[in-house]
Amino acid sequence: MTAIEPLRNFVSEFTRLFETSAPAVEIQKAGAGLLKTLLSSDGWLPVSYTRPHPEHYSQYLLHCDPLERFSVVSFVWGPGQKTPLHDHRVWGLIGMLRGRESETQFTRRDDGTFEQGETEFLSPGEVAFLAPGVNDYHVVANAVPDATSISIHVYGANIGGVSRAVYDLGSGAEKTFISGYSSEDVPNLWDRSRSKAA
C-alpha cells in the first residue's frame, strides 16, 4: 500500500456518494463514516500538508471535486492558534487526525449579536458536523498548548472559493472573506507508478 492510498480511496468513495442523488444531509452522514475510516490510520498525509505557520493556522487543499461538490482540507494548528468567529454557509465535517481541537459554538441573536454556547473538544478519530442554519457559527482552536494539531475537514463546496464571513464578538459586525488555501498545489492522488513518501 502506498502512503497516499487511504486519501485516494476516501476521495473515490466520497465522490460515489453523489451518484445516488441523496440529500446533502445523507451525503454528510455517510461521509462522516468514510472520514472516520480515513482518520483511523496516520501516515497518509504528506509532510508538506502538516507544517504549521508561525503566526496563524494553515488551510491546505488536499482535493477538490471537479464539479466543486466537495473539498477536502487539512487544517494545521500551531500552539495557541485559533480562528475568529466565522461561518461556512455550506455543510461540513471536521475530523481530528493529530492532537486536539476545541470548538466553541455561537448562536446569532435577532439583533445580530452572538451568544456563546458550549465548548466541545475533538480528539483523534472523532468527527463533528456543521450545517447552515443549525450550527454554522463557531471559533476553533488548537487545544494542545505546546504542540501542533491537525484536523481534516470536508465541505460541501470548494471551501476556498466560498464567500463567507467573520464576525466581531462584541458587536456582531460582519466582514466577508474568501479564504483561499495555504498550499499552492495539491497531493497527486492518481500516480500509481511509485510509492509516495508521507
CB 93 within 8 A of CB 154: yes
pLDDT of residue 20: 86
d(CA 147, CA 18): 37
Q: Is it the case that residue 168 has pLDDT exceeding 50?
A: yes
Tell me the pLDDT tens digit for each residue of 95-139. 999 999 999 999 999 999 999 999 999 999 999 999 998 899 999
Domains, the chain, with CATH or none: 46-177 (2.60.120.10)
C-alpha angle 158/137/142, rounded to 5°?
85
Q: What residues form DSSP beta bridges with 98?
A: 150
In whole angstroms, give the CA distance from residue 170 to residue 136. 18
Alpha carbons 75 and 94: distance in angstroms, whole number: 10
Distance set, CA 155 to CA 27, 42, 70, 71 (Å): 11, 21, 5, 5
Q: What is the pLDDT of residue 198?
A: 43
| Residue 111 near residue 150, CB atoms below 8 Å | no
The residue with cell 500509481 is 192
pLDDT of residue 191: 87
**For 45-91, how does the pLDDT look when each residue is reduced to its tens digit (9 = 90+)?**
999 999 999 999 999 999 999 999 999 999 999 999 999 999 999 99
CA 80 to chain centroid, in Å, comes to 18
Q: Is the pLDDT of residue 197 over 70?
A: no
Beta-carbon count within 10 A of 4 CB = 23
